[in-house]
Each structure stands twice: as C-alpha cells, then as structure tokens.
C-alpha cells in the first residue's frame, strides 16, 4: 500500500524508461511513498503493465504514456500531459531511459558509428530533452535525478560509447544544477554499479556473482538499492544537495 502521508503525498514524479527494469522499480518505489507517478517509455505495453502494477499495489492512480526522449515533440507533449495530471506541476523528474542491454561491446576501433549516435541520442541527449520540456512545470523545490553509471569511474573496456554517454550525464547534471539552482531546483545524478535487472541477467549467466568480490559489501546490487537513493534525492532530506553524483555500487568504486 502507498504511504499517503509520506513525503510523496501530493507530489508528482515523472519516471522515464519505466516500462521495465530499473525504471519500473523507480515507478513502484515512488508510488509506494505516495507520489503520483507518471510512467513513460517508448514501450507502451510495458508502461501499461507498470501502471497496472502500481494500481494493484494500492498506489495513487498513475499516468502512463509513450515517450521518445530523443524527440522534441514527444517530450513536449508528455511534459504537458504530465503537468496536467499533476495539477500544473512536475515535482520530480527521474531520467532513467537509456540504451543499455542492447549496446554492443567491442573495441573502440570497431564501435559502429550508427550505434554511437543512438547511444548518445538516448542516454545523453534524452535527459536534456526531458528536462528542457519539463522545466516550465518544475516548481520551486523541484527535483531532477539523472541516471549515470559507475562504469564512468572504472572505464569499462569495450564499452566506449556507453561509458562516454554516462560520463556526459554527470557533466549535464552539473550544468543543470547551476542553471536550475536559481529557481531552488536541485539536480543530482546516481551512478549505479552492476544491478540485477532483467537486462543485466540477459548480459551473462552468472549475473549474481559478477563483480561481487570487488565490492566492499560482497553482494550484488539490487534495484531497491538504487530506488532508495533516488527517493533520498527527491525528498526533503536532500534539499541542500545539488550537482552531485551518488555512486551506488556496494563500495566497488571510492570517488
């Protein structure tokens, strides 16, 4: 059941890439705290399923719809629709949409330029387009949470375009924090380590053991670990925190 008296009560959170995986976990986690959640993704059927799960678990009635984060028209339409759903406000934006599981791992000399463009469009241009469209509806005290990756700090080999795109998200976050800070809006990033989502399980057979020996906590990351960080950055306890990147990887990277 949703906590209708918690910090999310009366607040609207837009979660992109919410048709499954970590995005679905964000949507469910925010709904459980009482947020009115807007579920957006290019995968319309997956969005509807996430919205159904929110209703099944007693969360506030969600909004769901199609979103192409690389499209000016799509981001504008979704921002306007979500603002109407939120009584004229979008209190929290969680920029989760990304190309991840489908990215081809290959040496830098073999990266397909077309795939490079796709990864940059979705992973780096996308968060900018979403915030650009939502900006008129972000109130004083609004929150933006961008998803980067701990791979930026490890420099994962044979993943140049993905790592570069997520490094760009950190830079994007810092500039957004400066510009939107004038309106008392905070912008922070989360850099998750390897997290057990559907996409991660699809990458390898031993996902639950991958990299565990290199973490301080000696266990694999779970979606709830990352959701908790996002709820903190969206809530009142992080009001004086902005432009920062929170690494959530069980102590594999110390930055």
pLDDT along the chain (255 residues), means of 10: 74 97 96 97 97 96 98 98 98 95 87 95 98 98 97 89 96 98 98 75 64 76 90 97 95 81
Is residue 52 domain-resident?
A: yes
Specify the length of the chain in residues: 255
Confidence at residue 176, expressed as pLDDT on a 0 to 100 scale: 98
Query: Considering the entire predicted model, what is its pTM?
Result: 0.93
Confidence at residue 202, expressed as pLDDT on a 0 to 100 scale: 57
Is residue 66 domain-resident?
A: yes
Q: Which domain holds residue 82?
A: 12-189+223-242
Is residue 131 domain-resident?
A: yes
Is residue 104 domain-resident?
A: yes
Is residue 214 domain-resident?
A: no
Confidence at residue 206, expressed as pLDDT on a 0 to 100 scale: 72
CB neighbour burial string for 137-176, b if at least 16 within 10 angstroms, e if fewer: bbeeebbbbbbbbbbbbbebeebbbbbbbbbbbbebbbeb
Is residue 209 domain-resident?
A: no
Strand partners, 16: 40
Is residue 60 domain-resident?
A: yes
CATH code: domain of residue 106: 3.40.50.720
Is residue 169 domain-resident?
A: yes
Q: Report helix, strand or coil for 143.
A: strand
Say how many domains are in the chain. Answer: 1
Catalytically annotated residues: 162
């Amino acid at each position: 059941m949703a906590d209708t008296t918690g910090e999310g009560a009366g607040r609207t959170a837009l979660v992109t890439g919410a048709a499954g995986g970590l995005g679905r976990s964000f949507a469910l986690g925010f709904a459980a705290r009482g947020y009115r959640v807007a579920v957006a993704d290019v995968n319309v059927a997956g969005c509807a399923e996430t919205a159904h799960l929110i209703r099944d678990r007693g969360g506030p009635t969600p909004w769901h719809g199609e979103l192409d984060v690389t499209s000016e028209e799509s981001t504008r339409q979704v921002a306007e629709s979500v603002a109407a759903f939120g009584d004229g406000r979008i209190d929290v934006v969680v920029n989760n949409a990304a190309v991840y599981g489908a990215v081809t791992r290959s040496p830098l000399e073999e990266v397909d330029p077309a795939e490079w463009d796709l990864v940059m469009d979705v992973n780096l241009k996308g968060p900018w387009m979403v915030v650009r469209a939502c900006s008129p509806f972000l109130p004083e005290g609004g929150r933006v949470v961008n998803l980067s990756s701990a791979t930026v700090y490890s420099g994962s080999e044979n993943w140049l375009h993905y790592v570069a795109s997520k490094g760009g998200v950190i830079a994007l976050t810092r500039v957004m924090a400066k510009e939107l800070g004038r309106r008392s809006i905070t912008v922070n990033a989360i850099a998750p380590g390897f997290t057990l989502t559907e996409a991660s399980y699809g990458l390898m057979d031993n996902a639950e053991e991958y990299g565990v020996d290199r973490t301080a906590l000696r266990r694999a990351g779970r979606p709830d670990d990352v959701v908790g960080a996002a709820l903190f950055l969206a809530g009142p306890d992080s009001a004086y925190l902005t432009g920062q990147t929170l690494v959530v990887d069980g102590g594999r990277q110390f930055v």
